[in-house]
Chain A
């Protein structure tokens, strides 16, 4: 094991650059530990984002040696080849400063894709009985474990090429709601995701599936949306 890690961190905004720091290498060290070491012991002006440190909140995603990763659950030993780490902000999002990105557009696209539950009942109605073994209920699991970390959005080639594209996370959320029997917003939702920024822009490169830290499969969810929007269009439920 190397006693010191050579760590390049992105410093500055969009026009910033990588600066290299020396960080002691330790057993069971995560990438977030490395970034925190620099902020606590080398340069307190380093900006980055984290909260829970245990893979629940989805705040700490960064680009590590070229791939987006959740840094709190990424062990240095698995990604630092030759004792070197290059850590940058998530791609496909505006850089605020250093390792912190502006994630507004990521969440705005969730709204555009109608990723909001549209209730059909009130608190005075009985609780809906949903059998756990129905195909729709199983399909609705697609995004339930999503932690909104933005890794799939950062990894997606289509997001890089097409500013209008909603991205894997928003579409996977939409697929969960499309399969939620309690939801009443499907016509508007399918209409929104049948447009040019919706599911049909996906090229099925599957980077989202490969890099999702929760092992979700947005590509499969988007394929489901393609089938559902085609059926809705042919039935006259939505327009192009």
Chain B
């Protein structure tokens, strides 16, 4: 891992840390208040704030996890650093696509 990837991985970790705490608090709130799926969707649909919150979350996860997977592949498999990089980019794009789909499902009106 070079210094550029190191900075991206640490920066995305710093972004994710508070988002994870809010996300977990949200899960506790929704379950303890007995909110139904319809109740949750009524709060999230059309909300720019929730779209931004989870959109940033998905972007940070996709970058962070892809860099981690690149390191694992480089250290634990015979793949060269370059090929591990291509696999990691593909994995990151997959995470971003799946995450964006999930965010769209809960925030689009």
Contacts and interface: CB of A to CB of B under 8 A. Distances in A.
A201 B84 CA distance: 15
Given A196-B2, A196-B81, A161 B75 contact: yes
Interface residues of A, number: 17
Interface in B1-53: 1-7
- Interface hub of A195, A200, A229, A238 (most chain B Cβ within 10 A): A200
Contacts, number: 35
Q: Is the interface of B mostly helix, strand, loop or mixed?
A: helix
A194 interface: yes
A200 B81 contact: no
Contacts of B75: 158, 161-162
Contacts of A158: 75
Contact of B4 (A161, A162, A226, A240): A240
A167 interface: no
22 contacts: A162-B74, A162-B75, A164-B81, A194-B3, A195-B2, A195-B3, A196-B1, A196-B2, A196-B81, A198-B3, A200-B1, A200-B2, A200-B3, A200-B5, A226-B6, A233-B3, A233-B7, A234-B7, A238-B3, A240-B2, A240-B3, A240-B5
Interface of B: 1-7, 74-76, 81
Interface of A: 158, 161-162, 164, 194-196, 198, 200-201, 226, 229-230, 233-234, 238, 240
